[in-house]
Amino acid sequence: MAVQIAHTLKVWQRRAASRRAMRQHILWSDVSVIERDLGMAPGSLNREAHKPFWVE
**What are the boundaries of each domain within the chain?**
2-49
DSSP assignment letter at 40? P
Q: What pLDDT digit, counting tens, does each position of 21-46 carry?
A: 999 999 889 999 999 999 999 999 99
| Exposure string over 11-50, b if 16+ CB within 10 A, otherwise e | eeeebeeebeebeeebeeeebeeebeeeeeeeeebeeebe
Q: In this predicted structure, what is the pLDDT of residue 23?
A: 94
d(CA 44, CA 12): 20
d(CA 18, CA 12): 10
Q: What pLDDT digit, counting tens, does each position of 40-55 carry?
A: 999 999 999 999 999 9
Q: In this predicted structure, what is the pLDDT of residue 37?
A: 94
**Which residues does 38 contact at the CB level (< 8 Å), separation at least 6?**
none
